[in-house]
Amino acid sequence: MKRIINSLLLAVALSAATLSASTQSARADETYPSKPIRIIDAYAPGGSSDLAMRMLIDAFSREIGQTAYIEVKSGGSGLVGMTAFLNSPPDGYTLFITSNALMVVIPAVRSVPYDPEKDLVPLGLIWHTPQVFATKPELKVKSLPDFLAYAKAHPNGVTLGSAGVGTVTHLSIELLKRETGIPITHVPFRSTSTSLTAVIGNQVDGLFGDVTMLTPYASSHQVNALAITGAERSRLLPELPTAAEGGLPSLGTTSWFGLVASPQTPALIIEKLKAALARALADPAYQASVTAKGLRVGHWDAASFAQLIRDERKKWTPVVREAGIKIE
């Protein structure tokens, strides 16, 4: 009898403890957020991901009701930051700025400790832009056909910088090589800003980069913009032809970044984050800043972002593997 009573007491105690923990968890979900929210950026400061989140962070902080801040953890083509995020508690206080490189390119060419569609919850798209192809002025080329003629005459003698192995800027280079059959040397850097500095410093011949980042340097003739990879010309550089106009319609690459959370994050917190981000993206001041930088404001909510990830993986996985991109 004593043993039965003890068993019953233990069961009651365990049930009480479980109920207490459940109540505390629910209370924590309801009071979220009660402290600042860390947003991990996997790329170096000054790059497109940094710029994208800094444009949005004030509106997001206001809508979520707590301070959000960016913590840079760059290296390993973004995998250093991704690993730090995956190892963080799934409590909604650590979010991650992901990219097409981390969601599409890298998982296609090497083993990664995450499934892009299962281990990350899309909260919303925060950046979507075509690439500009530009060269150093010393190269003396005036158009994309001019560059291709020069590169063909100097096989393996032309160097193009990227924001790192597996990034969309790297993918653009590989597409250029594949579509033209011209051997070009790829030089990876830690970010677009560092590859841009290398072009301006005459260390490499050219690069692909977001239209927002390259526009002031193209306008001041520090780099020579030759083409834009979008389907149409950018209002920031209206005189710049598209790659299709330059004879390469298949060179249609875009760079994008989005905010994600852990799938183990409580559902109530996920919904709060999605709603706050959606309101921040709809903020008139944010939309004005996006438009001023030549970006299109589209349907950038969580559902649209999730669909973009699926579409991009389907589109680019075979291309990436065919290009033979290797990421150690």
pLDDT higher than 50, residue 295: yes
Name every residue whose Cβ is closer than 8 Å to that of residue 267 and which is 6 or more positions away in sequence: none
The CATH architecture assigned to 36-129+255-323 reads 3-Layer(aba) Sandwich (3.40)
| Region(s) of the chain under CATH 3.40.190.150 | 36-129+255-323
pLDDT tens digit string along 94-144?
999 999 889 988 888 888 999 998 999 999 998 888 899 999 999 989 999
Distance CA 240, CA 111 (A): 39
pLDDT higher than 90, residue 154: yes
| Residue percentage of the chain with pLDDT more than 90 | 57
Return the axis-axis angle of helices 168-180 and 302-323, rounded to nearest 10°: 40
Buried b (16+ CB within 10 A) or exposed e, 15-41: eeeeeeeeeeeeeebeebbeeebbbbb
The predicted structure's pLDDT at residue 150: 96
Superfamily of domain 130-228: Periplasmic binding protein-like II (3.40.190.10)
The predicted structure's pLDDT at residue 191: 84
| Region(s) of the chain under CATH 3.40.190.10 | 130-228
